[in-house]
Amino acid sequence: MSRKIFTALAALSIVAAPAAAQQKVKIGIITTQSGPGAVLGREIVDGFNLGIKHSGGRLGGAETEVIVGDEQFKPEVGKALAERMVQRDRVDIVTGVIWSNILLALADTVLRDRRGVFLINSNAGPSELAGKNCHPNFFSVSWQNDNTHEAMGQHVQSSGVKRAYIMAPNYAAGKDALTGFKRFYKGQVVAEIYTQLGQTDYAAEIATLRAARPEGTYIFYPGGMGIAFIRQYAQAGLTQQIPLYGPSFSLDQTILPGIGDAALGVFASTFWSERLQNSANQRFVQDYEATYNRIPSPFAAQSYDTALLIDSALKAVGGDISKKDAFRNAVRAANFNSVRGPFKFNRNHFPIQNYYLTQIVKDEKGRLVNDLRGVIFSSHEDAYVKDCKMKW
């Protein structure tokens, strides 16, 4: 067995050696590794590592070094990490930022560096960077923040819900979420409720909701808030009476195990699902489960795709990241097999991609998964691209 591996390694090094003997790429992942958000950071890091593994251990044939920093869910810590990685560690690419406020705090530090560092992000996609502040060295491999909510707005609209009750935490991303939803939902919004960030008791809000008799409820509650809300909604006996809709962030594999059966039947909108049938995704989901012993979340899928995208672009420049313009053009071409199926970059370096409807069901092993129910948007682009002056 070990001899087989040795032979394989020897063969690999012979193949790789002439093309990229001296090439090296250094990647900094700035993500959350402590506190309640640590679960997301783990998905980001694990997804990226699996992407490197599937690229033969060397992205684009270049020797790949990854350093990971914990922003502790604090923008100032994220910015300090970015400074350290860009100036001292001299990374070529920064990725992995989960939160929009942290991304906005550190984007300038990365993008203004004179070496021309790339920020190829795998989660947060704030409108600021999609619109007039779009940047040649910034790419979002995930989505623009509003997109997933827009998709559910469209679905709730087209499924004939005339009176919708919409709720989110009272912070920037919560307001963006409901704005995105309303951009495509044209029925009556019975109430638009903003609750406290981090709140986990929704008994009072749910009693008020029941009394308002809506035909559907849309929520954006990431993390523990989502677990608490969806369970209490079910405990109040509402899941069967008033359909519950949410973005994938409230219903992915980082929180479904915590919700339990209360999530059954809830609808989610997403750009990707663990049940999406394409060969790249099937390989990803299978190997991810085998390696980490859990079903991947969208965060892992985004990060995996980011690694594959970097791999494809580096391949195009012979593993030489110092060819900045050629590398940028290769990233723009997005010549890789995304786990989400069709993928291309818009003019503002945000994806043009499909958005799907899923419903929470149990798989063969009795685990909760996002089962596909259809396509909501095909080749959807964000609303801010018109403000971006970048041309290519």
Partner 1 sequence: MTILLFIEQVINGLQLGVMLFLMAAGLTLVFGIMNMVNLAHGSLYMMGAFYCATLAQWTGSFFVAALFALPAAALTGVAVELIALRTLYSRDHLDQVLATFGLILFFNELVRVVWGPVAIFMDIPPLLSGGVEIVPGAPYPVFRLFVIVVGIAVAVFLWWLITRTRLGMLIRAGATNREMIGALGVDIKLLYTLVFALGAALAGLAGLMAGPLYVVEIGMGDAVLIKTFVVIVIGGIGSIRGAFIAALVVGVVDTFGRVLPAQVGLPNALSEMAIYILMAAVLFWRPRGLFAPGS
136 lies in the site for partner 1, by CB under 8 A: no
Q: Distance between CA 327 and CA 347 in Å, rounded?
A: 16
Q: Distance between CA 110 and CA 101 in Å, rounded?
A: 15
Q: Distance between CA 281 and CA 274 in Å, rounded?
A: 8
- Non-local (6+) Cβ contacts of 315 within 8 A are 60, 61, 330
Q: What is the signed CA dihedral for 339, 340, 341, 343, rounded to 10 degrees?
A: -110
* Identified binder of partner 1 from the candidate list 77, 80, 172, 193, rule CB under 8 A: 193
Reduced to 3 states (helix: H, G, I; strand: E, B; else coil), residue 317 is: coil
CA angle 36, 40, 41 (to 5 degrees): 100
CB of 301 to partner 1, least distance (A): 17
Q: Which stretch binds partner 1 (CB under 8 A): 203-211, 276-284, 337-345, 357-365?
A: 203-211
CA distance readout (Å), 212 to 10, 163, 207, 236: 68, 10, 9, 14
Q: Which stretch binds partner 1 (CB under 8 A): 83-91, 114-122, 208-216, 268-276?
A: 208-216
Task: Give the DSSP H or E segment for 163.
Answer: strand 163-169
Q: What is the signed CA dihedral for 114, 118, 121, 122, rounded to 10 degrees?
A: -150
How big is the chain, counted in residues?
392
Instruction: Decide whether 181 or 343 has the Cβ nearer to partner 1.
Output: 181
98 lies in the site for partner 1, by CB under 8 A: no
Q: Which two tokens stand for residue 179?
A: 């704005």
201 lies in the site for partner 1, by CB under 8 A: yes
CB of 254 to partner 1, least distance (A): 6
Instruction: Decide whether 45 or 376 has the Cβ nearer to partner 1.
Output: 45
Q: Distance between CA 161 and CA 183 in Å, rounded?
A: 15
Dihedral sign for Cα atoms in the order 116, 120, 123, 124: positive
Instruction: Decide whether 110 or 209 has the Cβ nearer to partner 1.
Output: 209
* Identified binder of partner 1 from the candidate list 35, 162, 335, 375, rule CB under 8 A: 35
* Identified binder of partner 1 from the candidate list 38, 264, 361, 372, rule CB under 8 A: 38
Write down the number of H helices and E strands in the chain.
13, 13
285 lies in the site for partner 1, by CB under 8 A: no
Instruction: Decide whether 227 or 317 has the Cβ nearer to partner 1.
Output: 227
5 lies in the site for partner 1, by CB under 8 A: no
Instruction: Decide whether 71 or 311 has the Cβ nearer to partner 1.
Output: 71
The letter for the amino acid at 365 is K
Q: Which of residues 153-172 bind partner 1 (CB under 8 A)?
A: 170
Instruction: Decide whether 195 or 302 has the Cβ nearer to partner 1.
Output: 195
7 lies in the site for partner 1, by CB under 8 A: no
* Identified binder of partner 1 from the candidate list 150, 176, 205, 382, rule CB under 8 A: 205
Which letter does DSSP use for residue 5 in this model? H
Instruction: Decide whether 259 or 388 has the Cβ nearer to partner 1.
Output: 259
Q: Which of residues 214-273 bind partner 1 (CB under 8 A)?
A: 223-225, 227-228, 231-232, 235-237, 254-255, 257-260
Q: Which stretch binds partner 1 (CB under 8 A): 38-46, 100-108, 111-119, 340-348?
A: 38-46
Instruction: Decide whether 211 or 290 has the Cβ nearer to partner 1.
Output: 211
Interaxial angle between packed helices 279-292 and 38-54, expressed in degrees from 0 to 180 and rounded to the nearest 10: 120
**Contact residues: partner 1, CB under 8 A:** 34-36, 38-39, 41-42, 170, 191, 193-196, 198-201, 203-205, 207-208, 210-211, 223-225, 227-228, 231-232, 235-237, 254-255, 257-260
